[in-house]
Amino acid sequence: MGAKNDVWQGTLALMVLRTLQSMGQLHGYGIARRIEQTSGDLLIVQYGTLYPALLRLEQEGYIESEWGVSENNRRARFYRLTRAGRRQVGKESERWEKAAAILARFVSPSEEPV
């Protein structure tokens, strides 16, 4: 298997929101592992990047958290989507679909501009 890549700047928020949308409430370690699994283990989520992103998403009102006990009987902070977060998933997904379509024009142009 090839080397893992760090998560691309600007994509982590959407990955976290989509992960919580599909998986429900998870703790930070679970979110990181799920993102890595979903990428086919091509991405690596650095905790120094994940936890500030979780804090920012919580401050923006897209997720909320509470302390609980993990499957290992350890105290962990669990995150879940808010109503605003569910709306934001749709907005962020649409924004990234548009960005990907624009980038695709540069990566594999179907015809040369006139």
**How confident is residue 111, by pLDDT bands cut at 50, 70 and 90?**
low
| Boundaries of domain holding 33 | 5-107
Please give the average per-residue pLDDT across 76-85, as a whole number.
97
Q: What is the pLDDT of residue 2?
A: 57
pLDDT per residue over 31-67, tens digit each? Answer: 999 999 999 999 999 989 999 999 999 999 999 999 9
- Across the chain, mean pLDDT equals 90
- The answer to whether residue 69 sits within a structural domain is yes
- The answer to whether residue 70 sits within a structural domain is yes
- The answer to whether residue 114 sits within a structural domain is no
- The answer to whether residue 113 sits within a structural domain is no
- The answer to whether residue 66 sits within a structural domain is yes
Q: Are strands 75-81 and 63-69 parallel, antiparallel or unpaired?
A: antiparallel
Number of domains, the chain: 1
The string of DSSP codes covering 41-80 is: S-EE--HHHHHHHHHHHHHTTSEEEEEEE-TTS-EEEEEE
| Residue 48, burial from CB neighbour count under 10 angstroms (0-12, 13-18, 19+) | exposed
**How confident is residue 108, by pLDDT bands cut at 50, 70 and 90?**
confident
- CATH number for the domain harbouring residue 12: 1.10.10.10
Tell me the whole-structure pTM to 2 decimals.
0.84
| Six-digit token string for 104 | 């695709």
